Structure 1
Amino acid sequence: MRPFPSGQIQMIEGTAMVLAGEDIDTDRIIPARFLKCVSFDALADQVFADDRSELNGQHPFDQPQFQGASILVVNGNFGCGSSREHAPQALMRWGIRAVVGVSFAEIFYGNCLALGIPCATASAAEIASLQQAVLNEPGGVWSLNLTTMRMVSGSADCAVSIDPGPRDMLCSGRWDATSQLLDHGEQLQALMGRLPYLNRFAT
């Protein structure tokens, strides 16, 4: 299993995979029956469980040429439907580290940002061209550069966009609330020591 994202995220590199289709919702990404899990760890095996079962091994997440992919290239309104945080958790635990598409549902976008998964956008025509480039060379290594805001592989080069706020959070590492808390442990302890409602019973 590849390490989960942490700290500053300025570039995602790896192979890419195409998941074509508009309005792919979170119920498809992770069916509701898997929401009872007490840990997100097992969700990798269940991502797109129903779609994969119906396609009998022909779903992109089952096709050998896409195994180990880090960048998922989708179409419009990806991640719509319910607000379940399990959807980006399942994608991340399968190995996806960035998603590039025409547009994303707002809550899904926010849930991805909280995990350090960039969601970059481009026009429908540019995404169609990008998807074809990935399909033409499924083993090609791509880089999604959050500094230059381009997705590049060999001769293929696509300009992408991320809103300035989320982009700054990813590049600076401020998306990672847990690491920020751990890095500022002494300041937090000092602050807690000054809060009267935490210390009124102290002896």
Structure 2
Amino acid sequence: MTSPSFPMGPITELRGRAVVVAGDDIDTDRIIPARFLKCVTFDGLGEQVFADDRAERPGEHPLDRPEVQGASLLVVNRNFGCGSSREHAPQALMRWGIRAVVGESFAEIFYGNCLALGIPCFTASHDTVLSLQSALAAAPAQELQVSLDPAAVELSDGRRWDLELQSGPRQMLLTGQWDATSQLLAHGAELERTARALPYLNGF
């Protein structure tokens, strides 16, 4: 696991390696077990992502394979992130190093929680995801590029798969609107002018 640098501002593409966690209906309790939800901050959750799954197969879980350490793309299957709405799940994935997810479908709340962190969730057909997973299994250390517009993933050997990204989230990510903190900082002067004009803040 790497020390993460968290995304900020507009996001147009990412480069790096990918890790495949195959299987349908992987829920948030598997992504980050409930006992880790007592944390005061999200720091350290990256070390606990898929903790129970990894404990069942020491050294064999996809996230423990040496060739994918530092991976930034997660490739999954159908209905990923279902179950509890806990925001700890995408927080844990981000702190492990994940910056984007490709899958057949995602639970709606998980999808929204990822968007709030600047993690795009791309979708693709069943056959497309299986083809991408097969290519990554054959060359797990291969570098790739994921673009948001057009939505696609391309391996360093030239193979390319078209992906889908909803227009609203795509616009938010490309413009940086997903990042509420940066948006506030960028409009600091306007906020100050507005605050100075509010009677209840200025005693008139």
Please give the range of the TM-score, normalised by the shorter of the 2 chains: over 0.9
1:177 equivalent in structure 2 = 180
> CA–CA distance in 2 between the matches of 1:192 and 1:159?
46
Percent same amino acid at aligned positions? Answer: 61
> CA–CA distance in 2 between the matches of 1:55 and 1:181?
44
> CA–CA distance in 2 between the matches of 1:93 and 1:196?
43
Q: Which runs of 5+ in 1 are unaligned?
A: none
Opposite residue 33 of structure 2, the aligned amino acid is P
1:191 maps onto 2:191 in alignment:
no
1:157 equivalent in structure 2 = 160
> CA–CA distance in 2 between the matches of 1:77 and 1:197?
48
1:69-99 alpha-carbon deviations (Å, 9 max, x no partner): 0000000000000110000000000000000
CA RMSD in angstroms comes to: 1.0
Deviation for aligned residue 1:23: 0.4
1:166 equivalent in structure 2 = 169
Q: Which runs of 5+ in 2 are unaligned?
A: none
1:112 equivalent in structure 2 = 114
Is the contact made by 2:4 and 2:94 (CA closer than 8 Å) also made in structure 1? no
TM-score, L = length of structure 1 = 0.96
Tell me which of 3, 7, 14 is aligned to 1:5: 7
1:100 equivalent in structure 2 = 102
Q: Any residues of structure 2 matched to 1:70-109 within 5 Å, and which? A: 70-109=72-111
TM-score, L = length of structure 2 = 0.96
2:58 equivalent in structure 1 = 56
| Stretches (4+) displaced over 3 A | none
State the number of aligned residues: 201
> CA–CA distance in 1 between the matches of 2:169 and 2:187?
22
2:25 equivalent in structure 1 = 23
> CA–CA distance in 2 between the matches of 1:155 and 1:93?
29
